[in-house]
Structure 1
Amino acid sequence: MNESIVLITGTSSGIGLATAVAAASRGATVVATMRDVAKAGPLQDAARAAGVEVDIRALDVTDAAAVVAVVDAVVADHGRLDALVNNAGAGHVGTIEQDSLDEYRAAMEVNYFGVVALTKAALPHLRASNGRVVTVSSVGGIVGQPFNEAYCAAKFAVEGFLESLAPVAASVGVSVTIVEPGAVTTEFAGNAGIGAALERVAGTAYAPALDAYVRHARATSDASAAQKPGDVAAVITDVLWAENPPTRVQTSAAAERFVGITLRDLDGSAVQAVTSGWIAPDRT
């Protein structure tokens, strides 16, 4: 991956920012995208402190035309694309009786269809480079969590999409990896709309349960209980540089234990061993 071209979405803060700097520090040419480049200051400062440069570009992953244009521009400017890191996402706290269908559709657009659109646009170029797709999902893509119905539904969709795509992509030389963090000390939880959710359910039958959930979420997202963005970025860059990247990887022992409640094939190898056989050419 040294001197390879890596496109990363959602890099204005948190995991995306840390991954952009970490990948550039390991020798990759990083194209770092974010919805609003006016928020690029923290990334620029972090890159400067690390002594690296990143190519920052605007991209709203819910804009299908912009997705294609940015991917094509990256290839035109840099000559190829070796890896895509789907990181852009948005949380949403609430429950279906109180939420609107538009809020559910919005969660799917950024967390699921954004991943689909970027992956579709990148695949022709990744086939040419024998590249890889790395997507930041969540333990919430394996274990449904209270008051995260819209978010978990989108992440479950991401997991199903990529696990299904993985053997097909591998047949044309492209690896697919799903990265599953647990709690991380980023702005993500703060941007999930907890305050708005509390207002919506105030005085309803859901209020006691949401109050309890919020207390739990705040306790597990504090600095002592959560991973730092750099820790997750280290896992992502290890995947980018791995000779044989896994189909699925959790970013901490806590994440492994949590998804292990329902998932025993932690690295995805057992599922891939079965489904890859379904598409193997007949050698008889």
Structure 2
Amino acid sequence: MSRKVVLITGTSSGIGLAAAISAAEAGWRTIATLRDPARADALRKAAETAGVELDIRQLDVTDASSVTAAIEGVVADYGRLDAVVNNAGAGHVGTIENETVEDVRRVMEVNFFGVVQVSKAALPHLRAVGGRLITVTSVGGVVGQPFNEAYCAAKFAVEGFMESLAPVAAKLGVAVSVVEPGAVASEFVSNLGIDPAALIAAAGPYAAPLQAYATRTQTMFADSAQTPAQAAEAVLEALTAEQPAFRIQTSEWARAFTGTKLADLDGSKALGLTGAYLD
């Protein structure tokens, strides 16, 4: 019962799965949660291969009762909750003229309000042990990217929320960090559930820049995407460092990319960089 306990959301694949395995290997009692338990096969297989034990539970970040039940259940079973990793999220490609405001609301619900809901439920327990609240955001939470308006808006919101919360939480003993991946070779892109050709065909006047963006993105993922395990190293750093940084990028590329914005006081460099994606 003395082992530290971490709850991780969105562990069916990608960074969440890799982070769950890494945390368990590092000695954490790891509660690996996912919205649909029927999708836990890859997670179970990875745990078996690594020779680690995971406690796999259902948690839907958009369902308040699911969030409460999961977190209260962990505390009831283990007597503590030392860390939470907000990893669950969903990508989205589109531009506002071609989609509805409801489309944007749905993206915000999963990627922003889901994080808020889990964090709120976890904070009393993290406060009790001087724990850690870690959220996987994206380089898209620092630099807005074409045809990712809703997704980047949600990630910007998460970064602003956590950056504002961090000094308050620190006064009460809770360390807050955000982890910013770039391209990661996982099921994240395939889980978008879109047909790029159909999306471009339906884009009207946006078709040419959307085609340019899609080509650039496909090339980037093919050439320089990290593995989920590599990206998860930053999550483990946030879990285990004596004094974790607030903002942790997962690669040199991510550091350079976000650095463009963070050192760009008037915004011209960031817009020049992303505008070139459309040429």
Instruction: Give me the TM-score of the superposition, normalised by structure 2.
Output: 0.91
Which blocks of at least 5 consecutive residues in structure 1 are unaligned?
A: 266-284
State the partner residue of 1:137: 137
Asked if 1:175 is matched to 2:172, the reply is no
CA shift in 2, pair 1:203/1:109, >3 Å: closer
Which has the larger displacement, 186-195 or 154-163? 186-195
Q: Which residue of 2 aligns with 1:268?
A: none
**Deviations for 1:122-173, whole angstroms, at most 9, x for unmatched residues?**
0000000100001000000000000000000000000000000000000000
1:234 aligns with 2:228: no
C-alpha separation in 2, matches of 1:203 and 1:82: 46
Residue 166 (structure 1) aligns with: 166
Label 1:203 to 1:34 Cα distance change in 2 as closer, same or farther (>3 A): closer
CA distance in 2, matches of 1:171, 1:101: 38
Deviation digits for residues 44-98 of structure 1 (CA, Å, limit 9, x no counterpart): 0000111101000111100012111111111001110000000000000000000
Other structure's SS at 2:20 match: helix
C-alpha distance in 2 between matches for 1:51 and 1:3: 18
Cα contact 2:200–2:211 (8 A) shared by 1: no
The CA distance in 2 between the partners of 1:202 and 1:17, in whole Å, is: 34
Looking at structure 1, the residues matched to 195 and 160 of structure 2 have their Cα atoms a distance apart, in angstroms, of 31
Q: Tell me the SS of whatever aligns to 1:243.
A: coil
After superposition, where does 1:37-56 map in structure 2 within 5 Å? 37-56=37-56
Aligned to 1:252: 251
Aligned counterpart, 1:243? 242
Secondary structure, counterpart of 1:6 in structure 2: strand
RMSD: 1.5
Shift of 1:200: 6.8
| CA–CA separation in structure 1 for the residues paired with 2:79 and 2:219 | 46
1:167/1:193 CA distance change after superposition, 3 Å: same
The equivalent of 2:84 in structure 1 is: 84
Secondary structure of the corresponding residue to residue 260 of structure 1: helix
Contact 2:14 2:228 (8 Å CA) reproduced: yes
Question: Helix, strand or coil for the counterpart of 1:205?
Answer: helix
Distance 1:243 1:42, change over 3 A: same
Query: Are 2:147 and 1:124 equivalent residues in the alignment?
Result: no
One-letter amino acid of the counterpart of residue 260, structure 1: G
Alignment pair present for 1:29 and 2:22 = no
State how far apart, in whole Å, the 2-side matches of 1:152 and 1:231 are.
22
The answer to whether the Cα contact below 8 Å between 1:92 and 1:107 also exists between their aligned partners in 2 is yes
The SS at the match of 2:98 is: coil
Corresponding residue for residue 280 of structure 1 = none
In 1, are the aligned partners of 2:200 and 2:210 still within 8 Å (CA)? no
Amino acid across the alignment from 1:262: K
Counterpart code for 2:46: A
* Cα displacement (A) at 1:201: 5.3
Matching residue of 2:110: 110
Q: 3-state SS of the aligned residue for 2:262?
A: coil
SS of residue in 1 equivalent to 2:65: helix
- What is the Cα deviation at residue 243 of structure 1? 0.3
How many angstroms apart in 2 are the aligned matches of 1:216 and 1:171? 44
Amino acid at match of 1:111: N
Contact between 2:98 and 2:203, CA under 8 Å: does it hold in 1?
no
Aligned length: 263
Distance change >3 Å, CA 33–CA 203, structure 1 → 2: closer
Higher helix share: 2
TM-score (norm 1): 0.90
Q: Give 1:198 shift.
A: 4.0
The one-letter code sitting in structure 1 at the alignment partner of 2:225 is A
d(CA) in 2 for partners of 1:197 and 1:245?
42
In structure 2, C-alpha distance between the alignment counterparts of 1:201 and 1:98, rounded to whole Å: 12
Q: Which residue of 2 aligns with 1:9?
A: 9
Q: Once structures 1 and 2 are overlaid, which stretch shifts more, 207-216 or 79-88?
A: 207-216
